[in-house]
Structure 1
């Protein structure tokens, strides 16, 4: 068939071939312009679905980028779990395009106890390991701000807040109702919900806001960070941990990257995209590093089971005490970023 097509094409005059090529390019351009992402009726804010599929990953789509602050070319990388994964051509921010994903239904107690393959195997059972790691994170935070009001967004069962309470006046926000109630039963000031104007009104002005592996889950990270920046005390800091989509491991493993878990991970940040997002809200990058972490062995086995196809529950159940064992790990594909609000905030800085 290829030779037949080639011979047929060769019989067409060169001027006609150029004309056909121009018409084809215009057609592809028109498809790209109409293949916009529209919000599906009834879907949560921030969740969208591709209404048309562009033939091949080489045609960038003009979509709004939270980090760049406007429409930018977005290149389709691949599909995974029924979701389209795209990347901003300017800042490198990766995004998940999906529909029908309800975060309130997904982030329940089951998310922390093995109900989802991309969740946690046994979060509560790993409390001793997690609290030791969180104690080190608190020491890190104190290098930049020691004392004051600390709010954690997505505080789960409050293990970090319990460690931070030794040095800060703490409060938290958690979308999972069971986890938030668990925190309150332990005497922690935790609101069930998400970062929003009313929750921040109740929690007061923070000196420190902590988002540990949270920002990649947010439907609209630019709105959340904007609210936080507006309420943050002058000189206050925001501490964010998230995957580094620009890391060597992320680039080498592609769609099999351990943190490429749509639809729960909606965004895949690079250092540059996070810097742009922060600058848009008047925050400056104070520090970036890729720290070692001690994680529960159950989580490592859980992720290995998912990546190898053996099944996360099968792997995590091979070692009964895995939740209580800690393993130091660092693939240098997860970053920790400290953002600071200048003492004399003058509004938005240029990205």
Structure 2
């Protein structure tokens, strides 16, 4: 078996299982639609976004509602446990493991910046737990900034086990954070959640677990997409951080600050320019091109594409190269230096001290 044929054979082997899941109907992948905001309880809900899965192109349509009371944006109806399993399958692991691993592994500069954001508040934490660590690439890079810190990782996928085997984390905990929090209570100087809360079914429960895990005087470091970014409105469904159907909650920064205060934290830093990832225009161009082009092979599609469809896809993507280059240049050199001033930062970061 050659490297060229192996992906096709893996896809073919997975296709019967996916087709059986789809044939059983998609309704079971969703819970009942909520009539009130999961953050504040207000019933003033308005649709903010209708979209499909623009990354994997798995079947289904998804709605994000926005609360008129507090501004919280959330998936409604939300994925059920079966839906989460279906849409996460082969994204971070399985078929997607190598691709995502290579992508995350190449972001050392960003990871170092995240670690450096803690230095003014605690220049030498002894213990650090990274929640939602994935393959542990952040911990490996952060050790260069904080060589005396012991980094542990927690995730519900098998990526955390890989991270421990590869030595990127000292201890890898697999499971749901709130379930594991009691055994980790008061153990860590720093707990980080980088682009984790938006994936959780209950952000408030995750924050309470973090409060229990951070020792008194320790710090909680959170980074999430910013739903108040102007790009979220200007780019619509093509704004990458919407990441449907995986992202379930989008918390405005004022809401998160208030909730952290209620939990006994003091916010000591709030950053918008620093966590901005300059990929918005590039990603929007790619998502639109990929959406318009014939689909690449995937096990959730009825069968592999014909030679003609493969040729048409390649031709369309090639014609889009100038637009992809233009998006990259604008992202990195025109927008990035002014991202916060223009109000287009796609993420915010909070450092909070547990009192």
| TM superposition score category, shorter chain reference | 0.5 to 0.7
CA 310–200 in structure 1, closer or farther in 2 if over 3 Å, else same: farther
Out of 145, 153, 169, which is 1:172 matched to? 153
The structure carrying a bigger helix percent of its residues is 2
Out of 21, 38, 50, which is 1:65 matched to? 38
- 1:84 maps to 63
- 1:338 maps to 351
Query: Does 2:274 align with 1:284?
Result: no
Residues in 1 aligned to 2:263 and 2:38: alpha-carbon distance in whole angstroms:
14
Residues in 2 aligned to 1:333 and 1:295: alpha-carbon distance in whole angstroms:
7
Equivalent pair of 2:276/2:347 in contact (CA under 8 Å): no
TM superposition score normalised by structure 2: 0.66
Equivalent pair of 1:113/1:123 in contact (CA under 8 Å): no
Residues in 2 aligned to 1:225 and 1:295: alpha-carbon distance in whole angstroms:
24
CA 108–50 in structure 1, closer or farther in 2 if over 3 Å, else same: closer
Out of 190, 194, 213, which is 2:195 matched to? 213
Equivalent pair of 1:291/1:336 in contact (CA under 8 Å): no
- Secondary structure of the residue that 1:65 maps to in structure 2? coil
Q: CA shift at 1:306, angstroms?
A: 1.2
- 1:23 maps to none
Unaligned runs of 5+ in 2: 1-26, 53-60, 297-313
Residues in 2 aligned to 1:202 and 1:273: alpha-carbon distance in whole angstroms:
26
Unaligned runs of 5+ in 1: 1-40, 52-60, 343-351
- Secondary structure of the residue that 2:260 maps to in structure 1? helix
Q: CA shift at 1:287, angstroms?
A: 1.7
CA 186–121 in structure 1, closer or farther in 2 if over 3 Å, else same: closer
Residues in 1 aligned to 2:204 and 2:91: alpha-carbon distance in whole angstroms:
28
Residues in 1 aligned to 2:278 and 2:157: alpha-carbon distance in whole angstroms:
21
What pairs up with 1:206-245 in 2 under 5 angstroms? 206-245=188-227
- Secondary structure of the residue that 1:173 maps to in structure 2? strand
Equivalent pair of 1:215/1:221 in contact (CA under 8 Å): yes
- 1:304 maps to 285
- Secondary structure of the residue that 2:349 maps to in structure 1? strand
Q: CA shift at 1:296, angstroms?
A: 9.9
Q: CA shift at 1:215, angstroms?
A: 0.8
For the aligned residue pairs, the C-alpha RMSD in angstroms reads 3.7
Query: Does 2:136 align with 1:163?
Result: no
CA 137–167 in structure 1, closer or farther in 2 if over 3 Å, else same: farther
Equivalent pair of 1:214/1:242 in contact (CA under 8 Å): yes
TM superposition score normalised by structure 1: 0.67
Equivalent pair of 2:238/2:283 in contact (CA under 8 Å): no
- Secondary structure of the residue that 1:237 maps to in structure 2? strand
Q: CA shift at 1:282, angstroms?
A: 2.1
Out of 217, 231, 246, which is 1:264 matched to? 246
- 1:136 maps to 113
Residues in 1 aligned to 2:94 and 2:106: alpha-carbon distance in whole angstroms:
16
What pairs up with 1:27-42 in 2 under 5 angstroms? none
Equivalent pair of 2:46/2:67 in contact (CA under 8 Å): yes
CA 104–196 in structure 1, closer or farther in 2 if over 3 Å, else same: farther
Residues in 2 aligned to 1:145 and 1:226: alpha-carbon distance in whole angstroms:
22
